[in-house]
Amino acid sequence: MGTGKRGLLMMAVTVVCAVTVLAAPGTAFAAPSPSPTPSASPSSSPTPVSNKELEEVRKKLEKLYHSAAVATDQYNAAEEAAEKQSAEIVSLAKKIVRGQEKLAELKERAGSAAAAQYRLGGLPDEAKLMLSDDPRTFLDGAGRVIQGQRATKGLLAEMTRTQQDLEQYSRDASAQWQKLEAGRKAKAAAQKKIEKQIKAAEQLESQLEKEQLERLKKLEEEAAYKAQTAWLDSGALKDVKGKASEQGRKAVKYAGAQLGKPYEWGAEGPKTYDCSGLTSQAWASAGSGIPRTSQEQWKQLKRIDIKDMRPGDLIIYNDDASHVAMYIGDGAIIHAPRPGRTVTIAGAGSMPILGVVRPDA
């Protein structure tokens, strides 16, 4: 890389520092081969980018992709909420239609009763009974009057309840519409942030030559391998002997069949996935519906100790639960890492573990 292009690269790194922070997951499981050390060059040759400078690039990329992952979770949560709110609005609309039909029927019945009274001259039934000389007729008629009064009161009460229900349905539908609109705005904001972070990362990577991109990937692998080794050396897997449940085996089989498919934020397959799209679809294939996002998976699913985990369990990563992977045994996971990568097998300890959850608990 010439001094001019190197200057562009370092300028890009400096600009990226202003975009978001926090660490992003690594992606590799196997031990990397040593990174090549730049050889000395004549003063007239292009100045090579050092491993130290590439390491700075790697860290900036981690921050960008982590920020994109957080925004992706926000996007997915907004989309899931929108689907529920839309379904609720449809349900409320059906209730309103049924309520309006019921109210129209009740009004028709009330109108028929009023018309019948009019045809009888408007004389109250009580007055007609008072004019009767036959005690039996009087008593029978009195019973019918009481029944009629009760029926009329019941009819009016039912009309009132139906009207109140319609008003409540209308208020509920209005509230759901407001939530839906707020969700659309949140979804649009998350999408904008995702695209901004990914674009910044791509621009940063575009400053690198092919050889430098290869060295950058080696640095990523080295960082993941170092973290995995430290995790294994800590004895984390010493007591892990759990066997997969029947559903767990199905979920692992599904996830394994997706190896090599590209990462795409917001995707749930079958051609592309993001991290929680992969885990949620894997468990859906096993007959167990789980939350769509990694953060909700962490909140809602049963948490278990690492020593008790078994294949099929989900490992949640980072303090903000922004990444999720499926444990497949022997200290390994399957996950969809980040944009520009594919569904792959990695070391379970290659990223900072927040905890473990079990979908089929």
The region, left, alpha or beta by phi > 0 then psi within -120 to 50, assigned to residue 334 is beta
What CA–CA distance (Å, rounded) separates 314 from 325? 6
Residue 66 appears among annotated catalytic residues:
no
**Catalytic pick from 58, 66, 335, 338?**
335
Q: Which of 223, 244, 275, 282 is catalytic?
A: 275
DSSP assignment letter at 269: S
From residue 311, how far is each of 66, 248, 293, 326, 358 by CA, in Å? 26, 6, 20, 8, 10
Task: Centre a 10 Å sphere on the Cβ of residue 128 and count the other Cβ atoms it contains.
Answer: 15
Residue 357 φ then ψ, to 5°? -125, 155
Integer angstrom CA distances of residue 188 from 61, 62, 316, 342: 23, 23, 26, 25
Q: Which two tokens stand for residue 267?
A: 């995707």
The Cα 304–Cα 291 span in angstroms is 17
Active site residue 335: yes
Q: What is the C-alpha to C-alpha distance for residues 283 and 247, in angstroms, rounded to an integer?
A: 8
Output DSSP code: residue 306. Answer: G
Give burial (CB, 10 Å; 0-12/13-18/19+) of 259. exposed
Do the beta carbons of residue 298 and residue 357 sit within 8 Å? yes
Is 275 an annotated catalytic residue?
yes
CB neighbours of 5 closer than 8 A, spacing ≥ 6?
207
Catalytic residue selected from 58, 292, 323, 338 = 323
Would you call the peptide bond into 270 cis, given omega within 30 degrees of 0 as the criterion?
yes
Catalytic residues: 275, 323, 335
